[in-house]
Amino acid sequence: MTPAAAAARHSELAAQIRAHDRAYYVDARPTISDTEYDRLYRELCDLEAAHPTLQTPDSPSQRVGGAPIPGFNQVSHSVPMMSLENTYSPEEVRAFLARVQKPLGDIPLRWTIEPKIDGIAVSLRYEQGQFVLGATRGDGAKGDDITSNLRTLRNLPLRLTPTEGTAIPDVLEVRGEVYMATAAFQKLNAERIAAGEEPFANPRNSTAGSLKQLDPRLVARRPMLVVVYGLGQVSGATVPTRQADLLAWFRSLGLPVPERLWTAQSPEEVLHAIQELDTVRRSFGYETDGAVVKLDDLQLRDHEKLRNTSKAPRWAMAYKYAPEQAETLLKAITIQVGRTGALTPVAELEPVFLSGSTVSRATLHNEDELRRKDIRVGDRVIIEKAGEVIPAVVRVVPERRTGTETLFEFPKACPECASPVAREKTSDGEGVVWRCQNPACPAQVRGRLEHWCARGAMDIEGGGEVMVHQLVAAGLAHDVSDLYHLKAEQVAALERMGEKSAANFVAGIDASRSRELWRLLFGLGILHIGTSTAKALSRRFPDLDAIARATPEELMQAEDIGEVIAHSLHNWFRDPANQDLIERLRASGLTFTSSLYRPPTESAAGPFAGKTFVLTGTLPNLSREQATALIEAGGGKVSGSVSKKTHYVVAGDEAGSKLEKATALGIPVLDEASFLAMTTSPAPLA
């Protein structure tokens, strides 16, 4: 390649990588698969190796990640957070091992092989055993302070819990990965789809998006976990000298560590361990995308020839397993109209076997995605199981184009009802989607009816896709309230419908009149209302009318209900069409009272049940909202003024008259640390 051609290709690659970086790191919305990204990145690095003048300080190769987003405080990492160099072949692993061995002469080396967990890197800082700071990697030198989000991770210890004989270091900073287990991710996605929200592409995107949320209460509903595998700053402790012992030490301090670790003493053993990991990793229950090979001896890592490059240590390397992909023919693109009217393009594929199942359809997400990937009907495409769950079209195979492929015309009218479609933002405000504007669109009506009958909602047996389709086509159901007027004869008269199944279905509808309120609430298909939100609402409010009447502020008093959800609910109940629907359901005798309702003061759950707190002054780490959320999550109440009824005052810097009053009344005053200690205490307070 001529220098001019290399420079042109380099700037093209750099621009692409920057755009993908921004999408991934800043917007938490990746625009290509990791494999594709790695390919671009490697091409860029190879070009720079061949033409060193291209390696300018602003090249994407010269930094670890994207710029942190505004909204979180920035923190400097006391020890930079490094990335890892990736390899894809056993030869490169051997070359790496030899490279490390060389400066160390003949001494026999030991290696550790750990799973590479496919999540988001974080740094966790403990001072005197207390979790005081959690941060993202950011650009490696500075990251976002996401302490309050990380606090919501159930397996992240808020204080270290050493086993007997293990001393707590004065300062301990550990590095690790936040991730979502596959089952939890699937459940979360199912809930999002049911609540009319966009599903996440894979567990890692879902983790990245979750950690970027500014409302820790929403974060708390995302089932994330952390695992730690490395060391940052440490003082006041004797640090083990080997990686394997380091992990054992972490574990003895109560920190979660990778579930498997291999040690090896020769290149053959290293490669064997990598292979073995590949066979067992699928049973881990979370995604791993490689093996990390590290020099076991921590002191040897300090050798001047093995220290870090600007972005990665020389003593470690990641071997990436190839993702499971397959090539197939894209026969057609169809459009699915969902319950919310969203038009989703779907790839109809020539069936192909991919990681354990036959795939014949894959989502193309939306029009923008189709255009960006330049996907045409008749293309050979590469599909991948993103997150080993939802098949997605990664890219087309341009070499296999014959010229007969055709561009897909995105419909300008709803393919179901021919009504106009409009381009709208998705529910999370991050993407755009075409939506059918006709609430009476048969596809939307069917979607709403199916959702109402679904097992997680009103659980009406026989109310599946086929039945609903026929009811709507026959004009027997326009909304869910029509179900309650159906006669068995009407249902039996539908095509291919036996009398028995008709009778069962009608009996199922009848039984649904007494279903719990949360099922009804979820069944209504209100944007953002999933089952857990519906349950939280019916714990907080005595009946549907109380929910319908509530202001957004009142709705937010229910557990885990933030502004977005509260407004979605409030708006739904303000709509006259929805008010009519509620009245028709009431007239049909559905249950509007909540069996889960517990008046707030009687709440017996949580360490703060029945306790009233007053917050005053500035706390070192927690914001007022965060402290309030913790108190409420523990079943307590926050009051604005100190009285004899106050149980605790939590005081920070510059606490004023409230603190004086508390002292005068003899009310216990807590600092942040002792307050936080109480939030983790399982025993009820005295």
Residues 6+ apart with CB under 8 A from 366: 344, 345, 431, 432, 433, 434
Going residue by residue from 174 to 213, which x/- string records binding to ligand IVH, judged by CB under 6 A?
---x------------------------------------
| Amino acid (one-letter) located at 606 | G
Going residue by residue from 314 to 353, which x/- string records binding to ligand IVH, judged by CB under 6 A?
--x-x-----------------------------------
Taking the least distance from each CB to ligand IVH, the nearer of 177 and 405 is: 177
Shortest distance in whole angstroms from residue 240 CB to ligand IVH: 16
Taking the least distance from each CB to ligand IVH, the nearer of 200 and 229 is: 229
- Separation CA 618–CA 651 (nearest Å): 7
- Separation CA 347–CA 384 (nearest Å): 13
Shortest distance in whole angstroms from residue 373 CB to ligand IVH: 25
Q: Could you say which of 116, 294, 373, 658 is catalytic?
A: 116
**Interface of this chain with ligand IVH, residues 282 to 321, rule: CB under 6 A:** 292, 313, 316, 318
Q: According to CB under 6 A, which one of 20, 63, 116, 658 is a site residue for ligand IVH?
A: 116
Nearest to 295 by CA among 234, 244, 251: 244
State yes or no: residue 491 binds ligand IVH (CB under 6 A). no
Q: Which stretch binds ligand IVH (CB under 6 A): 2-10, 15-23, 111-119, 431-439?
A: 111-119
Taking the least distance from each CB to ligand IVH, the nearer of 230 and 391 is: 230
| Amino acid (one-letter) located at 558 | A
Shortest distance in whole angstroms from residue 326 CB to ligand IVH: 25
State yes or no: residue 135 binds ligand IVH (CB under 6 A). no
Taking the least distance from each CB to ligand IVH, the nearer of 319 and 452 is: 319
State yes or no: residue 121 binds ligand IVH (CB under 6 A). yes
Shortest distance in whole angstroms from residue 248 CB to ligand IVH: 15
Q: What share of the chain is helix, strand, coil (3-state, %, to 5)?
A: 40, 20, 40
State yes or no: residue 230 binds ligand IVH (CB under 6 A). yes
Q: According to CB under 6 A, which one of 24, 131, 185, 229 is a site residue for ligand IVH?
A: 229
Own/partner contacts of 516-519, CB < 8 Å, gap of 24 or more, are: 516/591, 516/594, 516/595, 516/596, 517/543, 517/544, 517/591, 517/592, 517/593, 517/594, 517/595, 517/596, 518/594, 518/596, 519/456, 519/457, 519/458, 519/459
Tokens of 6: 């290399």
Tokens of 457: 């909602």
Give the number of C-alpha atoms closer than 13 A to the C-alpha of residue 367, restricted to the C-beta side. 17
Taking the least distance from each CB to ligand IVH, the nearer of 310 and 657 is: 310
Shortest distance in whole angstroms from residue 317 CB to ligand IVH: 10
Q: Which stretch binds ligand IVH (CB under 6 A): 115-123, 296-304, 382-390, 454-462?
A: 115-123
Residues 6+ apart with CB under 8 A from 499: 488, 492
Shortest distance in whole angstroms from residue 318 CB to ligand IVH: 5
Taking the least distance from each CB to ligand IVH, the nearer of 82 and 662 is: 82
State yes or no: residue 83 binds ligand IVH (CB under 6 A). yes
3-state secondary structure of 358: strand
Shortest distance in whole angstroms from residue 372 CB to ligand IVH: 25
State yes or no: residue 258 binds ligand IVH (CB under 6 A). yes
Contact 286, 117 (CB under 8 A): yes
- Separation CA 289–CA 322 (nearest Å): 8
Shortest distance in whole angstroms from residue 24 CB to ligand IVH: 13
Taking the least distance from each CB to ligand IVH, the nearer of 227 and 517 is: 227
Look-up: residue for tokens 């006041």? 236
Q: According to CB under 6 A, which one of 14, 28, 82, 393 is a site residue for ligand IVH?
A: 82
Q: According to CB under 6 A, which one of 84, 389, 468, 667 is a site residue for ligand IVH?
A: 84
Taking the least distance from each CB to ligand IVH, the nearer of 313 and 341 is: 313
- Separation CA 284–CA 117 (nearest Å): 10
Nearest to 64 by CA among 78, 48, 85: 85
Going residue by residue from 429 to 458, which x/- string records binding to ligand IVH, judged by CB under 6 A?
------------------------------
Shortest distance in whole angstroms from residue 268 CB to ligand IVH: 22
- Separation CA 17–CA 38 (nearest Å): 10
Q: Which stretch binds ligand IVH (CB under 6 A): 78-86, 458-466, 610-618, 670-678?
A: 78-86
Phi then psi for 682, rounded to 5 degrees? Answer: -75, -25
Dihedral of alpha carbons 127, 129, 132, 133, sign? positive
Q: Is 116 assigned a catalytic role? A: yes
- CA 224 centroid distance within chain: 7
Taking the least distance from each CB to ligand IVH, the nearer of 151 and 301 is: 301
Shortest distance in whole angstroms from residue 425 CB to ligand IVH: 31
**In 463-621, which ranges are E strands?**
612-616
Tokens of 230: 């490395």
Total binding residues toward ligand IVH, as defined by CB under 6 A: 15
| Integer CA distances (angstroms), 421 to 91, 240, 418, 514, in order | 54, 63, 9, 38
| Integer CA distances (angstroms), 518 to 36, 161, 256, 325, in order | 43, 39, 36, 41
Residues 6+ apart with CB under 8 A from 91: none
Taking the least distance from each CB to ligand IVH, the nearer of 114 and 145 is: 114
State yes or no: residue 30 binds ligand IVH (CB under 6 A). no
Q: According to CB under 6 A, which one of 21, 34, 114, 191 is a site residue for ligand IVH?
A: 114
| Nearest residue relative to ligand IVH (C-beta) | 121
Residues 6+ apart with CB under 8 A from 548: 573, 579, 582
State yes or no: residue 146 binds ligand IVH (CB under 6 A). no
Look-up: residue for tokens 């080997």? 242
Q: Which stretch binds ligand IVH (CB under 6 A): 91-99, 110-118, 123-131, 442-450?
A: 110-118
- Separation CA 14–CA 20 (nearest Å): 10
The enclosing H or E element of 350 equals strand 343-354
State yes or no: residue 117 binds ligand IVH (CB under 6 A). yes
Shortest distance in whole angstroms from residue 160 CB to ligand IVH: 20
Taking the least distance from each CB to ligand IVH, the nearer of 284 and 597 is: 284
Shortest distance in whole angstroms from residue 85 CB to ligand IVH: 8
Taking the least distance from each CB to ligand IVH, the nearer of 30 and 230 is: 230
Tokens of 200: 């996440």
Active site positions, annotated: 116
Which spans of this chain sit near ligand IVH (rule: CB under 6 A)? 82-84, 114, 116-117, 121, 177, 229-230, 258, 292, 313, 316, 318
